[in-house]
Amino acid sequence: MTLRLFLVALACVPYVAAAQASTNVSFAKEVVGREPKSFAPMVGSWVMSSDAKDKVLFVDGRVWKRGQPAGGLADKARELYGARNEEFIESIKAFAYFPIAVYKGLDTFENGDITVRFQMLGGTLDRCAGILFNVKPNGDYLTVRYNGTEDNVVLWTFNKGVRKFVKRAPDAVPLELGTWHTLKVSVHGTALQSWLDGKPMVEYTLPEPVSGKIGVWSKTDSMIEFKDFTFTPAVK
């Protein structure tokens, strides 16, 4: 009887997410000074670097040039999207202003949490660190990012090469350069939440559920180190 009541109650809950195991992307086998193997840098200069004892993923905006995707783009796009790679490449070229690196180890992320730790080192025009998600074969994506020149967290959409502001977190949060911080995004159905160092930031109801690849995001001349990229998929 109790079990039946529980099952009935469960059926009445519109969306129940059960968390699966977390995956913390390890950089242990990555080689400092080379491009990462676990992420596919599609735009910008992404190399493995070190911070104290940790290996970190470094996006180096000093070598950023507007309109220039990362080297070997065609091969990386083919690896990620197979026959649909040309569509992806065309779209990526349209917004090469924004460095992105796509995580190779997960085909599709729909529900759950994505967390990354980041440290801003510099950038004269921008100091941006973001979580990339809902990356489609046509190059569309969503990102929640922190910008150290504006001290804020914002959700952006990228559709057909056009960047669109969606929502800004109400509070400005100044962060010191050279210190580590944690950005987290949680997606359940169309409900999106984000946190910076555990503090709630952007909450938003998306027009449709997400389904795509994930990764890390940056902007123009930002110099950012990333580590502890973790995702925890949830199932309906």
Partner 1 sequence: MRLFHVVALSALSAVSAPAQAQCTWTAKDAWVKRQAEFFDDSKHEWSNDSLRTALLEAAGLSAPLAAPVQHGVFVEGRAPAINAPAMLDRLKQLASTRGSVWPTRSVVGGAGTHAVYLLVRGDTGLARAALHRMMEAGPSESPAADVATLEDQLRLAWGRKQIYGTQKPSGADGRVILAPMEDSVHADLRREDAGLPPFRLGLCMAAKAR
Binding site for partner 1 (CB under 8 A): 61-62, 66, 121-126, 149, 174, 176-179, 220-221, 223
Q: Report strand pairing: 112-122 vs 180-188.
A: antiparallel
Q: How far is the CB of 224 from partner 1 (least distance, A)?
A: 11
Q: How far is the CB of 220 from partner 1 (least distance, A)?
A: 7
Q: How far is the CB of 49 from partner 1 (least distance, A)?
A: 11
State the SS3 of the chain. CHHHHHHHHHHHCCCCCEECCCEECCCCCCCCCCCCCCEEEEECCEEEEEECCEEEEEEEHHHCCCCCECCCHHHHHHHHHHHHHHHHHHHHHHCCCCCEEEECCCCCECCEEEEEEEEEEECCCCCEEEEEEEECCCCCEEEEEEECCCCEEEEEEEECCEEEEEEECCCCCCCCCCCEEEEEEEEECCEEEEEECCEEEEEEECCCCCCEEEEEECCCCCEEEEEEEEEEEEEC
Residue closer to partner 1, measured from CB, 71 or 178:
178
Residue closer to partner 1, measured from CB, 107 or 176:
176
Residue closer to partner 1, measured from CB, 121 or 166:
121
Find, among 105, 111, 153, the residue nearest to 129 by Cα: 153
Residue closer to partner 1, measured from CB, 127 or 136:
127
Q: How far is the CB of 177 from partner 1 (least distance, A)?
A: 4
Q: How far is the CB of 45 from partner 1 (least distance, A)?
A: 13
Residue closer to partner 1, measured from CB, 63 or 235:
63
Q: How far is the CB of 183 from partner 1 (least distance, A)?
A: 18
Residue closer to partner 1, measured from CB, 122 or 200:
122
